Amino acid sequence: MSFFDQKEPPRREERLGACIAMNDTVHNLAKKKSCLHDDGERAFNQGSICLLLPALAILNSIPDSVVLIHGANGCGSSSHSQNANTRSGSFQRTGTGKDALWLSTGLNETDVISGGELKLAPAIREADQRYRPKTIFVVSTCVPGIIGDDIDGVIAEVQPDVSARIVPIHCQGFKTKIWATAYDAVYHGIGRTLLDEPDDAAPEAAQGDAQDAALEAPTGAPQATVQTASPENDQPNRTVNLMNISSMGRVDELELERLLKAIGLDVNFFPVFASPDGMFRMTKAALSISTCPTHDDYILKHLHEKYGVPYQLKHMPIGIENTNQWIRDIAAFFGVSDQAEQLIAREEQELQAALAEFKPLFAGKTVFVSAGEFRALVTAQLLTELGFTVSGIRSFHHDEFAEEEYKKLARQSKDDYVVNIANVQPFEEANLLQKLKPDLFLGHTNGNMTAAKLGIATHVIYNTGLSYVGYKGAYELARRLYRQLRNPAYNANLAKHLRLPYQTEWYQSNPFQYIKTRGGSLHG
Amino acid sequence: MANHVFVERPRYTCASGGAVATVTALPGGIPILHAAQGCAGNFAWTQNGAAGLQVGGYCGSLTVPSSNIQEREVVFGGVERLHEQIGHTLKIMDGELFVVLTSCVTEVIGDDVAPVIAEYREQGIPITFAETAGFKGNAYVGYDLVLQSLFRDVLQRGIPTVKRNVNLWGIPPYQDVFWRGNLSELRRLLEKLGLTVNSFFTAEDTVESIRHAASAELNIVVSETYGLEAAKAFQEIHGVPFLSLPLPIGPSATEPFLTKVGEALALESAVVESVIASERRSFYHTLGPLTDCYNDFDLQRYAIVVGDGNYAPALTRFLADDLGWLPELVVITDPHDDDKQTLLQARVAASPTGLTPQLVFESDGSQIIEHFRRRWPSDPQQKYKNAFNPAFVVGSSLERELAATLGAGHLSVSYPVANRAILDRGYTGYRGGLRLIEDLIGQIIAGR
């Protein structure tokens, strides 16, 4: 039975053996299988995010939709930040910047006692009548999860009276510590509800039937060059799905589209900013391409199993060699390797010439990287290509998709360095950075403050307004780092006049002291 | 009118979020969330998008210690995890005041945190707690609950009253994006009256001054809606009376503010009058040179004001009474009970200009345009018509679409403020009035 036959997707702890608390080194990780890792827990924690937040980041971008958050009035307030991305993203794609439309059922004490279902049905009906959306995403949170609201039951009951398609998204934050489960939660809702072709779908969209091309193992690149012809016009289907769950802005989408067009492919992006009525088009593509395996495996496997769309789930196109490999695998699938090699050679030559201006400043500088696992590892590879020496990496979680990336990093560096798996936990980071004193730190959004207050030059590793991906991204990132390193005075001044909220003794302790292994003992 | 089945784009986060923001604004304040792992991140992202680019504090954002309870604790209870978390927090974090804040999940599962906190308090640890489940209310409620906890557990009891000591609150940190500037200006004015002010959250405040807050003669709450439960608790526990006054913006509102404080403390009226006179002189001395351009560019505007229970009446009265603008529609976007609604209505209606803008309580921003069209019907076919222009919308950043629809200018003041960077700017008092004029007119002439 498929995961998609269940109401909720499985937790990544079970599905992928993902873990969040670990202290290791890059050379060690390059040798281990991820299933052999000993996940731990922390006896001291700082807050992080839950799956609701990245899920909302995707849902808030989807046009003609309403996001109805079923929970207390604060769940979903992160939308205020995501709204900036929705406004700029819709402006870049349509010329009009629109506010995201999110609603809260605002469960109160009475609802907690009497159940929230009573509020949900009228909320869906009112949202449908007032805003006339194509889709209503009903997002369930912690409280309905505990008091036992059956949101799927309510949806089934009201759907006949409601013209919008209602999509349940399950986001009970306490249920999983791996917030990447958010992507599964969103793809699960889309996969179960939005992939059927609407009756009034535009005819030109329905190109090519589902394919049954051979498929390699999930982490292997598809080798098949078999092309099925579209029944209408005998032209081979060259339309690909490019998955973006909001880890890339429009500028990065355009870079990847440019590269794929250069080898003769047409690109559709899913699911951010994609019309709900057009989601079914992802079932018609010749190939689904992931831009980050951690994000996309759940839907790509579903598209293959149910609709026969083969997929590529390997490499993230951040870093020069990674971009080369990403293109090569796609090109091999379509039998256009020669074109791809010409493209790669041309792009690399131009890029290397352009980077020459920055490399002398980077040479010998140490860098510490912190982000979601795949993003952190591929960015570290890019930074090595730019001439930095990686002195440490922190990843938000660890799972099997990254095994190959640790191997790449180990090959790049003969010196070993620390890899800390942590769902943020800046106290460990502060301790590590104080010991390692890197010249530069790249952290996720909301993740640069610690390094900044320690006086280290910083740059954000992910921001949908900035370019990171492909050859252009490599250049633009280098250009921004060059700028940061030329004058890190903002951070240097902070370090002189502000302190982090940790006791002096903490910096002398083992940074991993509070990680408990399964046996239950604390590190010494 | 507002529906009751959902709130559109709520302009606040939950009680826990308001509480975390409040604790992070206290000197050396360290919140300890007893919550699922995502609450802290939700608050950080919310501030990132809504609080004028201010995220965190001494120990905010993702630095906040949190018990990060999981399904296991939901089944078996989270008290043990909390105990471990507090113990280790005290070993790692360097704070002056620790506040444990409970959340939806830990309150639904019935974790009893009071005995845990009592244990640490007995050891002399400066720690308290507040039960701030999100379903108990919004960020304003969280602010009030934290103040109640401070008053109950942190303030020394039974200390003698010190004449001319006052406490000042009613401006929720971060939820009022201009909290620093707003508190500082009111501190400055009260100090000018000869008072010693504890305001909890400014750079001048210390944990020591907070501990001695019960020595005050009077608590001044510059809100008619927020922080009032805490004021009652303070009075009950420490016997200090409170004065609840509207948030004063500009000379017309600040003068009665200072007068009422003076009366409540039986200050010499000559002192109060001389402070008012010198401030008013300075205000108009500064404003004077704008007058040529104010007239030449025809800078008077019709206005729609959208904001919370503090800002909406205060901004409306400033625009009408001090700036001579024409507010037509006033929208209060956060929930208030009937008595408060009546009180806020009276504030808006009391303008000495005789203007009577319509006040509506509407949580959903998309409905404001409908209220406006009912208030100011317009026939596009008419050749001569008294249209609603030139117009200005003073609201939150969610009013940008409304302003664009009306062809009006726009300034974000009330939460969320996504499109401005705010550090210590404030709109209260005399100096705040000048800042607000600069910002309003700056928006109108930005393309000049």
Task: Report the number of distinct structural domains present in chain B.
Answer: 3
Q: Please, are residues A170 and A188 in contact by the beta-carbon 8 Å criterion?
A: yes
Range B34-56 average pLDDT: 97
- Report if residue B359 sits inside a domain: yes
Q: Do A179 and B16 touch (CB under 8 A)?
A: no
- pLDDT number for residue A206: 38
Do B48 and B88 share a domain, yes or no? yes
Q: A209-346: which CATH topology?
A: Rossmann fold (3.40.50)
Cα(A136)–Cα(A119) distance, rounded to whole angstroms?
Answer: 15
Task: Note the pLDDT of residue A39.
Answer: 65
pLDDT at B2 over 80: no
Domains A48-193 and A209-346 share a fold: yes
Q: Tokens 């959306």 sit at which residue?
A: A133
Percent of chain B with pLDDT over 90: 98
Predicted local confidence at residue A37, as pLDDT: 62
Tell whether B181 and B227 lie within a shared domain.
Answer: yes
Q: Do A75 and B69 touch (CB under 8 A)?
A: no
Tens of pLDDT, residue by residue over A169-184, are 999 999 999 999 999 9
Whether B301 is covered by a domain: the verdict is yes
- State how far the Cα of B26 lies from the Cα of A193, in Å rounded to an integer: 47
**B50 inside domain:** yes
Task: Return the beta strands (E) in A352-396 as ranges.
Answer: 366-371, 389-395
With beta carbons under 8 A apart, name residues in chain A contacting B105.
142-143, 146, 173-174
Structure-block tokens of residue B239? 């016997």
Query: How many other CB atoms sit within 10 Å of the CB of residue A6?
Result: 12
B328 HSE (CA, 13 A, CB side): 20
Q: Is the pLDDT of residue A373 over 70?
A: yes
CATH number of the domain bearing residue B214: 3.40.50.1980
- List A residues 108-127 in contact with B (Cβ-Cβ < 8 A): 108-109, 111-112, 119, 122-123, 126-127
Residue B3 has pLDDT above 70, yes or no: no
C-alpha–C-alpha distance, residues A187 and B98, integer Å: 40
Identify whether residues B391 and B317 lie together within a single domain.
yes
Q: What is the DSSP letter of B14?
A: B
The overall average pLDDT reported for chain A is: 91
How far CA B13 is from CA of A13, A180, B80, B183, B400, in Å, comes to: 29, 23, 28, 22, 20
- Facing A174 at nearest CB: one of B95, B105, B137: B105
Please compute Rg for chain A using Cα positions. Answer: 23
- Residue B380 inside a domain? The answer is yes
Per the prediction, chain B carries an average pLDDT of 97
Task: Tell me the pLDDT band of B320, cut-offs 50, 70 and 90.
Answer: very high
Residues A92 and A467 sit within 8 Å (Cβ to Cβ): no
> How far apart, in whole angstroms, are the C-alpha atoms of residue A400 and residue A34?
5
Residues 17-46 of A with CB under 8 A from B: 42-46
In one-letter notation, the amino acid at residue A323 is T
Contact at CB, B138 and A74, closer than 8 angstroms: yes
Which of B46, B62, B74 is nearest residue A47 as measured by Cβ atoms?
A: B62
CA distance B34 to chain A (A): 10
pLDDT at B235 over 50: yes
pLDDT at B87 > cutoff 70: yes
Same domain, B348 and B314: yes
B172/B273 same-domain check: yes
Contact B9 A146 (CB under 8 A): no
Give the tens place of pLDDT for each residue, A54-91: 999 999 999 999 999 999 999 999 999 999 999 999 99
Superfamily of domain A358-516: Nitrogenase molybdenum iron protein domain (3.40.50.1980)
- pLDDT digit string, tens, across residues A379-433: 999 999 999 999 999 999 998 889 999 999 999 999 999 999 999 999 999 999 9
Q: How far apart (Å, rounded) are the C-alpha atoms in residues B105 and B75?
A: 11
Q: Are B145 and B131 in contact (CB under 8 A)?
A: yes
Query: Is the domain of B38 the same as that of B117?
Result: yes
What is the domain range of residue B252? 165-284
Yes or no: domain A48-193 corresponds to CATH 3.40.50.1980: yes
The DSSP secondary-structure symbol of B73 reads H
CA B228 and chain centroid, separation: 12
For residue A214, what pLDDT is reported? Answer: 35
Identify any residues that bridge with A189 across adjacent strands, giving them in sequence order: none
- Return the structure tokens found at B153: 């557990």
In a domain, B4, yes or no: no
Helices B251-264/B179-192 angle, 10° precision: 50
Residues B401 and B377 in one domain: yes
Q: Do A174 and B71 touch (CB under 8 A)?
A: yes
The two most distant CA atoms of chain A are separated, in Å, by 72
Cα–Cα nearest to B190, from B175, B210, B160, B169: B169
B150: DSSP letter: I
For residue A211, is pLDDT > 70? no
User: Of the candidates A160, A169, A388, A351, which has an alpha carbon nearest to the alpha carbon of residue A255?
Assistant: A351
Does residue A220 have a pLDDT over 80? Answer: no
B111 & B170 share domain: no
Provide the pLDDT confidence category of residue A40 given band limits of 50, 70 and 90: confident
What number of CA atoms fall less than 13 Å from residue A465's CA on the CB side?
Answer: 11
Contact B14 A43 (CB under 8 A): no
pLDDT at A200: 67
Q: Are B115 and B53 part of one and the same domain?
A: yes
Q: How far is CA A1 from CA A302, A305, B228, in A?
A: 12, 11, 57
User: Starting at the edge strand that comes first in sequence, how are the strands of the sheet with A165-170 ordered?
Assistant: A165-170, A135-140, A65-70, A102-104, B7-8
Interval A365-369 mean pLDDT: 98
Q: What is the pLDDT of residue A202?
A: 54
Rounded CA Rg of chain B: 23
**Residues facing A287 on adjacent strands:** A240
pLDDT reported for residue A227:
44
- Chain A residues in contact with B135 by the CB 8 A cut-off are 72-73, 107-109, 111-112, 143
| Residue type at position B323 | L
State the pLDDT confidence band at A517, using cuts at 50, 70 and 90: confident
pLDDT at A229 exceeding the cut of 80: no
Residue of B30, B35, B138 with shortest CB distance to A501: B30
As a whole-number percent, the residues of chain A with pLDDT over 70 amount to: 91
Please answer yes or no on whether A73 and B138 come within 8 Å at the CB atom: yes
B202 in a structural domain? yes
Q: What are phi and psi of B242, to 5 degrees?
A: -130, 155
- The alpha helices in B93-206, defined as continuous H runs, are 104-108, 114-122, 139-149, 179-192
Domain range annotation of chain A: 48-193, 209-346, 358-516
Flag whether pLDDT at A19 surpasses 90: no
Q: Say how far apart CA A196 and CA A206 lie, in whole Å.
A: 12
Please indicate, yes or no, if residue B210 is contained in any of the structural domains.
yes
> Is B433 within the bounds of a domain?
no
Q: Which of B8, B32, B62 has the highest number of chain A CBs within 10 A, making it the mutation to test binding with A?
A: B62
Neighbours of B338 (CB within 10 A): 7
Same domain? For B90 and B172 the reply is no
